[in-house]
Amino acid sequence: MSLLIRNGRVVTAVDDYHADIFVEDETVSLIGRDLDVEADRTIDAAGRLVIPGGVDPHTHMDMPFGGTTSADDFETGTRAAAFGGTTTIVDFAIQTKGHSTLEGLETWHEKAAGKAGIDYGFHMIVTDMEDDRLWEMRRLADEGVTSYKMFMAYPGVLYVDDGTLFRAMRKAGEDGTLVCMHAENGIVIDEIVKIALAEGKTAPKYHALTRPTRMEAEGVHRSIAIAEVAGVPVYIVHLSCADALEQVTLARDRGAQVFAETCPQYLFLDLSHYDHDDFEGAKYVMTPPLREKWNQEHLWRGLGFGDLQSISTDHCPFCFKDQKVLGIDDFSKIPNGGPGVENRMSLVYNGGVVGGRLSVNKFVELTSTAASKLFGLFPKKGTIAVGSDADIVVFNPDRRETISIDNPHTHHMRVDYNAYEGTEVQGVSEIVISRGRVVVEDNVWHGRAGGGNFLKRGLFGGPF
């Protein structure tokens, strides 16, 4: 099967030129002007950007959490991702406390196999790591799971103490892998939560008011310090605020191997979304919470200056009616997380490129290339080059859509609300190609459950 994409404006993290792209089977085989080749199918991309498929390095499909399970599984979640122009996700497998991480990996393979419609990899969430289990980490790396996530938040659930953190970090550094950190002081936060509940403060907004930005900044500072001593590069996930960003910037300025992502929710939504008398604010109960709006300009600056490398979604949807309601009388019981995997590319293009904050190359870097480099997928993923996987998006930079659960062009996620309801965006993914196959065209799904492959990722290849 061959595919010719003609007349497009090819944009990668570094290039911007008009050319034709010839795809044979799953890979790009030729790029040039007015290519003289026969193809099984030709797509005219005149007036369109032709960009690498998005790489979202932070999703939670089919994740048991907060007494329920995230609403998108690998089939519905990856399909929605593809509609939005994302062709690779890196999801989080979980080690059950006291059990082998390899068992956890097996469970997540079972969840994804035969379901994922686009390619996917796994990080491993480590929930304990005694000395006699450390050998498993090298085995995970051999299996292509070359990054871990550990939590300073959620005591009693996913939280690990600093000793565990250090042990696992040291081994991860020896093995050439990367550690992702949920950096928030969960021990202190849980004390603040107890005080709030004792005072009868049970509404969703108290989720945000009990998680001060200083406690995120403290977690970022501490995890970086421990990682420096352990000798491992660290990637701060879902960084939400200026306070935390300052810690990343300071560490990078002194040469520490620190990387960080933020997410659309922290760039486009803010604390005011909790200002509802009813339970509506539960839609935005995620961790870290939405912050005061002024933080957003600091995050954009961090993205522009390179202190934040990537924009992921932390897609972890829970239905408002059936799942968020678990915390109707107590905000601490609201399942944490929100939807977004489908809307990331349009939101970032609109807020970044149309908004005059990012170049079009930076847009590609933040939504695709950087994550693929950090997580051992480059140059297979994250760029358009001869030999790369033909994960390509034909992106209309002029088309506008209003994001809404009622707009069939913007919502395919299996969740009963859209966090960006009513937001108008300019810039829409129109044709989405995954390893040479058109999986989305004219807002119709042409992919298949199981069409996505598990990606064995390489070791950490930095510094970048």
- Candidate residues 167, 171, 182, 291; the one interacting with Zn ion per rule CB under 5 A: 182
Part in contact with Zn ion (CB under 5 A); list of ranges 158-166, 182-190, 344-352, 369-377: 182-190
Part in contact with Zn ion (CB under 5 A); list of ranges 33-41, 114-122, 207-215, 306-314: 306-314
Please, which of residues 228-287 interact with Zn ion by CB under 5 A? Answer: none
The CA distance from 428 to 348, in Å, is 11
CB of 154 to ligand URP, least distance (A): 7
Please, which of residues 312-331 interact with Zn ion by CB under 5 A? Answer: 314
Separation in Å, CA 306 to CA 343, 344, 386, 435, 437: 23, 19, 27, 29, 33
Cis bond upstream, residue 289 (ω within 30)? no
CB of 411 to ligand URP, least distance (A): 20
CB of 389 to ligand URP, least distance (A): 27
Contact 43, 392 (CB under 8 A): no
Contact 434, 87 (CB under 8 A): yes
- Return the amino acid letter for 354: V
Part in contact with Zn ion (CB under 5 A); list of ranges 100-108, 111-119, 174-182, 320-328: 174-182
Is 287 or 346 the residue whose CB approaches ligand URP more closely?
A: 287
Is 10 or 208 the residue whose CB approaches ligand URP more closely?
A: 208
Is 10 or 286 the residue whose CB approaches ligand URP more closely?
A: 286
Is 118 or 181 the residue whose CB approaches Zn ion more closely?
A: 181
CB of 286 to ligand URP, least distance (A): 4
Which does residue 286 bind out of Zn ion, ligand URP, none, counting CB within 5 to 8 angstroms by kind?
ligand URP
Which does residue 61 bind out of ligand URP, Zn ion, none, counting CB within 5 to 8 angstroms by kind?
none
Is 73 or 389 the residue whose CB approaches ligand URP more closely?
A: 73
CB of 237 to Zn ion, least distance (A): 5
Sequence-ordered list of residues with C-beta below 8 angstroms from that of 454, at least 6 positions apart, any chain: 109, 112, 113, 119, 120, 121, 122, 144
Which does residue 50 bind out of Zn ion, ligand URP, none, counting CB within 5 to 8 angstroms by kind?
none
Question: What is the per-residue DSSP string for 166-184?
Answer: HHHHHHHHHHT-EEEEE-S
Is 336 or 418 the residue whose CB approaches ligand URP more closely?
A: 336
**Inter-axis angle of helices 213-230 and 186-198, nearest 10:** 160
Q: Looking at residue 388, what DSSP letter applies?
A: S
Please, which of residues 330-389 interact with Zn ion by CB under 5 A? Answer: none
Is 6 or 149 the residue whose CB approaches ligand URP more closely?
A: 149
Contact 84, 420 (CB under 8 A): no
Part in contact with Zn ion (CB under 5 A); list of ranges 82-90, 178-186, 291-299, 303-311: 178-186
β-sheet bridge partners, residue 323? none
Is 8 or 186 the residue whose CB approaches Zn ion more closely?
A: 186
Provide Rg for the chain, Cα atoms: 21
Part in contact with Zn ion (CB under 5 A); list of ranges 20-28, 197-205, 308-316, 341-349: 308-316
Which does residue 337 bind out of ligand URP, Zn ion, none, counting CB within 5 to 8 angstroms by kind?
ligand URP
For residue 396 the two structure tokens come to 């209309």
Question: What is the per-residue DSSP string for 299-360?
Answer: HHHHHHHTSS-EE---B----TTTTGGGGTT-GGGSPP-B--TTTHHHHHIIIIIITTSS-H
Is 94 or 425 the residue whose CB approaches ligand URP more closely?
A: 94
Q: How far, in whole angstroms, is CA 278 from its chain's centroid?
A: 30
- Which residue ranges make up the site for ligand URP (CB under 6 A)? 60, 182, 238, 286-287, 314, 316, 336-337
For residue 223 the two structure tokens come to 């995890």
How close are the terminal C-alpha atoms of the chain, in Å? 36
Strand, helix or coil for residue 417: coil
Positions that interact with Zn ion (CB under 5 A): 182, 314
